[in-house]
Structure 1
Amino acid sequence: MRIAVLRANAVGDFLLALPALEALRSRFPAAAITLLGLDWHAAFLRDRPGPVADVVALPPVTGVSTMEDGHRAPPGLFTRLRERRFDLAVQIHGGGRYSNPFVRELGAGMTVGLRAPDAEPLDRWVHYADHQHETLRFLEVAALVGATADRLEPRLEVTGRDAAEVAAVLGEPPAGLVAVHPGATDPRRRWPVESFAAVADRLDRPVVVTGSRAEGDLVAGVVSAMRRPAVPLAGALSLGGLAALYRRCDLVVANDTGPRHLAAAVGTATIGVYWCGNLINAGPLSRARHRPLVSWTPACPVCGADGLDPAAPRCPHDPSWVAGIPVEAVLEQAHDLLRIDYIL
């Protein structure tokens, strides 16, 4: 009747977990699913239809809700969580070195989740290994309690509040709108702004360029490199507002980042620029409306550091590892997807 799910990280990470959350809700339809997440989860999921009934926004805990060292669970946290009397606690956060001890402290009737070789066991667990798609990884965990998926790609509801935000910021979005998103948390995953601009110019569609407030320079770079006008939107919308905007688009062209997952989850066709290793773990699982373009760069373009070995240390250089993906290749997929949308 009461299920806790630990997944306390970023937007794309949450969206990749949605099929597993839906599977749990389908298996236990009377249960309330509590997401152990972050503040942004609480704000974004409030009153949003979906498998999550409520969110507990965790304080900083090293390896669980932050990557920073030195943050132990504050006094009283586990007491408050145990008072919820969870019947099942699900760890789909990572390999479990930090998260499995955290989940075991919840006092749930059963614990299930992922386990890397250096992690404590749970009551039922699936081996955690590199190079597995995250959605399939989490569905393996859900299957430990008999939960299976109706679909593999995530789906997300857009609310009236989301749509009203877009109307307040943009008015009525034009027909045929295309969005491009040049940002990504890791600069190595960023396609050049000039490449985004070239694609946007040649689609002959109204264009909006999206990004967070911190990505304002990237958004401005795309707009200034374009020959045609485009609407810059850096930090102008909440996550829900961005979902509603993408729902009104015919296509979203983006790097491998949360907004691409968001656009796909609201039903919009997407093109994603991916480095090969990230495609394995986080690429779209279907190709009818989602097309990844892949860079096979195996090593740092500056120093040659190995990028294919997950255990190799990260070098200090931040050049794009995906810059070599041709504009023409992206345009080919964009035109194909836009024709499909027109026919539909």
Structure 2
Amino acid sequence: MKPILVLQRRRMGDLILSFPLFLWLRRTFPDNPIQVAAEEHFFQPLMSLSPQVGYVPWSEAGTLLQQDYRLVLNLSAGGQAEELAGRARAEEKLGPILLNGARRVLGRWQLYRQSLIQNNRYNRFHWADLNALDLVPLAELRGTAFAEPRRLPTGEVRVGLFLGASEPSKRPGAAFWAELARALLDRGLRPALLGGPAERGLGAEVKWIAAAPLLDLCGKLDLKELAAAGQTFQLLVTPDTGPMHLAAWTGLRVLNLSMGNVNPWETGPYQPGHLVLRPTASCALGCWSCTRGDTRCRGAFSARRTASLVQSMLTGPDERLERLTPPGLALSRTDRDASGLYRLARLDRRAPGAHRLLSRFWQAYHGHRFGLWDEARPRAAWVELAAAQPRLAEAFRSRLPGLGRGLRLGLSRGALDDAFWTGAPLMLRPLTGFLLPLLQNSDFSSPAWAESLEWLEALLAATR
């Protein structure tokens, strides 16, 4: 049978978040071998932990053009991957491709993912789920059970502190890590500093500030060794980074300090049973890039309170952690909803505010439009929003005629520009930000205009 080709050239964390997809593809297409083109320095140390697929080094990706495929799925960004996806011979293609010199995004869920660039404030679909939804039935996701993180016997308790992230704004500074390490030592726990070669200097700085006998393993373990060492830890405290996903995949429980321009609904620990601590400041509720310049969301994290949270995670049920959540932060547990999709279950009793209610509605609306469920779900989400936030509901509906006028104006001109979504109110951008690439993807064809009006009509129906 013709193989399936997945192009995944992004970071190590993105490759690990593709592991569930590889499992689902094997079940959905049992007779089709799966090939994955990725950077060798990412996949080589992960091969023993990966689902069984055939890896091809990206440096040899050109050889992939010599065979025919059942499917090519491009999960990478950039011209080289898009050109390769466009040139490959396949019965079906998904993701961004270069076709006859023009960029196209094939697959509605892949197009939705593209629409999240600079526009993910209300997104509630996880990257691992988005990888699969164009291909894998929702029932397959719902029927997949991931094991809860392991609980090691009590005794000598070792807590890993992974110091680094892809950007400094996405991780705590050295002073925070040093204070957290000292606080854990004061509680009888044994912290270990973890990181890759890039964190050697940070690890040395943390150890110097802490002035304590800390085990510093920064730059001393490769990914395979890091996964093995993680089997001896009770917990990993980490920002949103590739080793966080490695820990979650291998069963090491994670406390994710979600800070900077990350959205844990998209890239939080995917398996159930992990905890995510994130700021509640408005600017931190799903940001693609920091517009404040000072990444003030990092200031909400307290090392001493985090240490108390760690100790309680190791000794009792999650439900009693609510009172330990520092002010300005929210604590959530990773889980699955009734449909089988990723969700973050808040561990506090605060009534959902405008952001949470709008996010639920937009998830329900897009899921309905893409065929995951019927119209009852977005309608129920809207009823909940309107009951709790009547002024917000009124403001939302009052802006829909303006959206219709914008579409009619664009139709008369034959095109829309970025002002269609950047000029829309934030609450409507999940739709305007999708309709613009939908129209661009079809060169503003008549069927695309008709479909855009259908999206607006469905929104009007859901919010009656």
Would you call these one fold, judging by a TM-score over 0.5? yes
2:176 is aligned to 195
Q: Distance in 2 between matches of 1:175 and 1:84?
A: 54
Q: Distance in 1 between matches of 2:144 and 2:171?
A: 29
Percent sequence identity is 22
Higher RCO (C-alpha under 8 Å, 6+ residues apart): 1
Q: Distance in 2 between matches of 1:56 and 1:41?
A: 11
Q: Distance in 1 between matches of 2:109 and 2:194?
A: 39
Gaps of 5+ in 2: 150-154, 318-464
Where 1:240 maps in the other structure, the secondary structure is helix
Preserved CA contact (<8 Å) 2:38 2:57: yes
1:25 is aligned to 26
Q: TM-score scaled by structure 1?
A: 0.73
2:298 paired residue among 309, 314, 322: 322
Preserved CA contact (<8 Å) 1:18 1:154: no
1:8 is aligned to 9
The answer as to 2:214 corresponding to 1:230 is yes
2:161 paired residue among 180, 189, 196: 180
2:312 is aligned to 336
Offset of residue 250 of structure 1: 0.4
Q: Distance in 2 between matches of 1:153 and 1:92?
A: 23
Where 1:217 maps in the other structure, the secondary structure is helix
Structure (1 or 2) with the greater helix fraction: 2
1:262 paired residue among 236, 246, 268: 246
Offset of residue 222 of structure 1: 1.9
Q: Distance in 1 between matches of 2:12 and 2:227?
A: 12
1:51 is aligned to 51
Q: Distance in 1 between matches of 2:37 and 2:23?
A: 16
Q: 1:174-196: per-residue Cα shift (whole Å, max 9, x none)? A: 94211101111211112122222
Q: CA RMSD in A?
A: 3.5
Q: Distance in 2 between matches of 1:175 and 1:194?
A: 25
1:133 is aligned to 126
Where 2:243 maps in the other structure, the secondary structure is helix
1:73 is aligned to none
1:86 is aligned to 69
Q: Distance in 2 between matches of 1:84 and 1:58?
A: 16
Instruction: Sort the Cα spacing of 1:12 and 1:270 in 2 relative to 1 into closer, same or farther, 3 A.
Output: same
Q: 1:63-103: per-residue Cα shift (whole Å, max 9, x none)? A: xxxxxxxxxxxxx954x212243222112235x87744431
Q: Which amino acid in structure 2 is aligned with residue 24 of structure 1?
A: L
Where 2:252 maps in the other structure, the secondary structure is coil
Q: Distance in 2 between matches of 1:141 and 1:114?
A: 13
Q: TM-score scaled by structure 2?
A: 0.55
The answer as to 2:217 corresponding to 1:217 is no
1:63 is aligned to none
The answer as to 2:122 corresponding to 1:122 is no
Range that drifts further, 198-207 or 276-285: 276-285
Q: Distance in 2 between matches of 1:110 and 1:147?
A: 21
Q: Distance in 2 between matches of 1:286 and 1:40?
A: 24
Is the radius of gyration larger for structure 1 or structure 2?
Answer: 2
The answer as to 2:36 corresponding to 1:35 is yes
2:394 is aligned to none
Preserved CA contact (<8 Å) 2:147 2:272: no
Where 2:94 maps in the other structure, the secondary structure is strand
Gaps of 5+ in 1: 60-75, 157-173, 300-305
Preserved CA contact (<8 Å) 1:197 1:223: yes
Instruction: Sort the Cα spacing of 1:307 and 1:178 in 2 relative to 1 into closer, same or farther, 3 A.
Output: closer
Q: Distance in 1 between matches of 2:137 and 2:74?
A: 12
Offset of residue 15 of structure 1: 1.6
Q: Which amino acid in structure 2 is aligned with residue 107 of structure 1?
A: R
